[in-house]
Amino acid sequence: MQVPNQHRQHFIGGAWRDPVAGRYRPAKSPGTGDTIGEVAEGERQDAALAIEAAKSGHEALSQMTRWQRADLCHRVADSIETQKDYLAYILALEQGKPLKSEAYGEIEAAATGFREAAELFKFMNGDFIPAETPGKRVISFRVPRGIYAVVTPWNFPINIPVEYLAPCLAAGNAVVWAPAPTTSLCASALMQCIADAGVPDGAVNLVHGPGAVVGDELVVNPDTHGIGFTGSPVTGAKIAQRGAGKPMLLELGGNGPVIVLDDADIERAARAAADGAFINAGQVCAATGRVLCTRTTYDELAQRITAAAQELVLGDPLQPATTVGPLNNHAVIEKVEAHVADGLARGGTLLAGGCRKPELGSDLYYAPTVMADLGEDADLNRAETFGPVAPIIVCRDEEEILRVANAAGHGLAAGVFSRDLAKAFRFAERVGAGLVNINGPSHYWELHIPFGGAPGKQSGLGRLGGRHTLHAVTEIKTISYDLG
């Protein structure tokens, strides 16, 4: 398949537009290093123009009934499904995830996201509130906030935007969206699906460009009324400061522990840990960040995870046999290398991988890696690696497992494996993570399930997922009336 229309502009006020400064930058494929298109390089003025256009978009959406906006969301889902082959292709080409095993699944999830938001908000009720004053009646209901600034990452460049765009549209918010620069072609392809569905002009606007410029303008501009962001804790902290006072929904990543208790089904735990470490080349916020066990289970667990890593097919994401593609960009592969080097310097042992594979087509391929003999001071334990690495940390006992799990600064998702359900639940309640999966991988999630970080951790603010996102992008309006 050839990529059509490789010249990508902004989408502002219902039309594709050149950037104000007239500058474009190349889009490259991580699998080959080849230039596959050119994308508008936006500035603050482009973002400001999009925010101005969003005002009329919000007005148009606010005049629509919930049923009309639901129909609009379903039309977007129809458009995504119609274009699924192209969307999956451009996703594999520009992001790097395997076409057959992963890209199509992301496209299906995106269509589902629009359909779920449509139906959930359509039937989201308000309240009839009893009043102490005789003759008074009080009702409350949810209304849109206005214009949402949405800034999204490159690891799931189709579906993560949908987690914000679909609820905003269903609820009546206009959106100005700044996607990650390295997956701008993916963002443009999704934007075309939204435009083809007939959204009102200005209802969804797409502005390409550096996050520190375009994204920052969206965050600080007084004419945006809410912020949605998925990305790193460092950037999230900056956004929280720059957008202080605005409602925010921030999903900021994790370093999910997969906890294997002594009575666990080791085969099941190893399979889940490997799946979570290597899916999307480890570029998942709820990935298996580290595997925690005792010496009792270590030998079998390490052997099975290593075998799983060695069975994977690293290669061209467009080839059907590929199960792991390249990393998306040089910053992430350099961090992976730094974390692995730190682990080796601290006495860690490589059981698999641990190197780039440039012979596969570019210098962004990194072999699925398993590392053992790590202490809790290793970067692989303390920080989010965001690459295809499964670090195994042996603890003295199960209480130390819990302490090590909770000592890290992230608290997004975790997995706990045990045949004793009562013990597993006790562990799950004590693990500092917003989502804990018992006898399942740390990255298990469905679109309607609440997803976000634990208190006191660096994994974000608020909850994504179903009605929880809809609550976040709306506010309660209360009206009283007097019967006389």
Strands (E), 233-347: 248-251, 257-260, 290-294
Enumerate the CATH 3.40.605.10 domain ranges in the chain, comma separated: 7-252+463-478
pLDDT value, residue 6 = 81
Closest C-alpha among 457, 425, 117, 423 to residue 255: 457
Cβ atoms 27, 154 nearer than 8 A: no
Residues 38-47: tens digit of each pLDDT: 999 999 999 9
CA distance 267 to 301: 7
Mean pLDDT for the stretch of residues 185-190? 98
Closest C-alpha among 380, 360, 377 to residue 255: 380
pLDDT at 4 over 80: no
Cβ atoms 374, 343 nearer than 8 A: yes
Cβ atoms 367, 352 nearer than 8 A: yes
CA distance 155 to 319: 19
- CA angle (353, 354, 355) in 5-degree steps: 100
Q: What pairing do the DSSP bridges indicate for beta strands 248-251 and 24-28?
A: unpaired
Phi and psi angles of residue 150, each rounded to the nearest 5 degrees, phi first: -125, 125
Closest C-alpha among 142, 132, 20 to residue 69: 142
Instruction: State whether residue 385 is helix, strand or coil.
Output: coil
Closest C-alpha among 349, 441, 440, 335 to residue 391: 349
Count how many residues are written for the chain. 484
Listed in sequence order, the residues at least 6 apart from 291 whose beta carbon sits closer than 8 Å to its beta carbon are: 257, 258, 260, 273, 301, 305, 390, 391, 392, 393
CA distance 417 to 420: 9
Closest C-alpha among 369, 278, 353 to residue 323: 278
CA distance 129 to 479: 10
pLDDT at 362 over 90: yes
Instruction: Kindly state the tokens that stand for 437.
Output: 């999966």
pLDDT at 1 over 90: no
CA distance 380 to 389: 9
pLDDT value, residue 287 = 98
* Residues carrying an active site annotation: 251, 285
Enumerate the CATH 3.40.309.10 domain ranges in the chain, comma separated: 257-446
Residues 249-306: tens digit of each pLDDT: 999 999 999 999 999 999 999 999 999 999 999 999 999 999 999 999 999 999 999 9
Provide the H-helix boundaries in 279-370.
295-311, 330-345
Instruction: State whether residue 293 is helix, strand or coil.
Output: strand
Mean pLDDT for the stretch of residues 376-386? 97
pLDDT value, residue 484 = 85
Find tokens 């959930």 and name the residue: 120
Instruction: Tell me if the pTM is above 0.85.
Output: yes
pLDDT at 49 over 90: yes
CA distance 251 to 161: 12
* Burial of 423: CB neighbours in 10 Å, binned 0-12, 13-18, 19+: middle
Residue 436, sorted as left (phi over 0), alpha (psi -120 to 50) or beta, turns out to be beta
The answer regarding whether domain 7-252+463-478 maps to CATH 3.40.605.10 reads yes
CA distance 313 to 154: 22
Instruction: State whether residue 111 is helix, strand or coil.
Output: helix
Closest C-alpha among 268, 256, 258 to residue 291: 258
Instruction: Kindly state the tokens that stand for 194.
Output: 């939204």
Instruction: State whether residue 303 is helix, strand or coil.
Output: helix
Half-sphere exposure of 93 (CA within 13 A, CB side): 22
Mean pLDDT for the stretch of residues 6-28? 97
Residues 90-139: tens digit of each pLDDT: 999 999 999 999 999 999 999 999 999 999 999 999 999 999 999 999 99
**Alpha-carbon dihedral sign for residues 205, 208, 213, 219:** positive
CATH classification code of 257-446: 3.40.309.10
Mean pLDDT for the stretch of residues 203-222? 98
Mean pLDDT of the chain: 97
For the chain, the maximum distance between any two Cα atoms, rounded to a whole number of angstroms, is 81
pLDDT at 3 over 60: no
Listed in sequence order, the residues at least 6 apart from 182 whose beta carbon sits closer than 8 Å to its beta carbon are: 27, 28, 30, 94, 154, 328, 329
pLDDT value, residue 5 = 54
Residues 93-105: tens digit of each pLDDT: 999 999 999 999 9
CA distance 289 to 382: 9
CA distance 325 to 204: 31
Return the DSSP state at 451.
Answer: B
